[in-house]
Amino acid sequence: MAKQGKGTKTKKRVRRNLAEAKAYIHASYNNTIVTITDPDGNTVAWSSSGSIGYKGSKKGTPYAAQLAAADATRKAQNMGVGTLDIIIRGTGSGREQAIRSIQATGVNVRTIVDDTPVPHNGCRLRKRRHNS
């Protein structure tokens, strides 16, 4: 049997026409990540404060979250998304600003759900930071 060489295959980006999608906003203190998925959960578009170009502590700012949300929504609109359900996780400073940015892009926002994980006294917390 003759060996076949490995050919490099690049995955072609498929342009889908989605009427509705879900936007997941993960707002931590250090970064804000916005992922837009189809109803099945497959990622359509995503963006984060870091991918916009911010580094370090500037990634956690509300303005960086606003730009990240606008970028992800713009990519999703190119795929044909018209209606969004927003799911928010985390307690970062970019929460409200990301929502306002999505609403300002002209996408119809159907629902906004806060799904921040709250422990029911599960794992033991880290040792408290000593401030003096």
Domains of the chain: 20-114 (3.30.420.80)
Predicted confidence (pLDDT) per residue in 74-94, tens digit: 999 999 999 999 999 999 898
C-alpha atoms less than 13 angstroms from C-alpha of 4 in its C-beta half-sphere: 3
Inter-residue contact 28 to 50 (CB < 8 Å): no
Inter-residue contact 75 to 15 (CB < 8 Å): no
Predicted confidence (pLDDT) per residue in 19-39, tens digit: 899 999 999 999 999 999 999
Residue pointed to by tokens 């040792």: 127
Cα–Cα distance measured from residue 49 to residue 53, given in angstroms and rounded to the nearest whole number: 7
Cα-based distances in Å from 61 to 1, 7, 74, 80, 83: 59, 43, 20, 29, 26
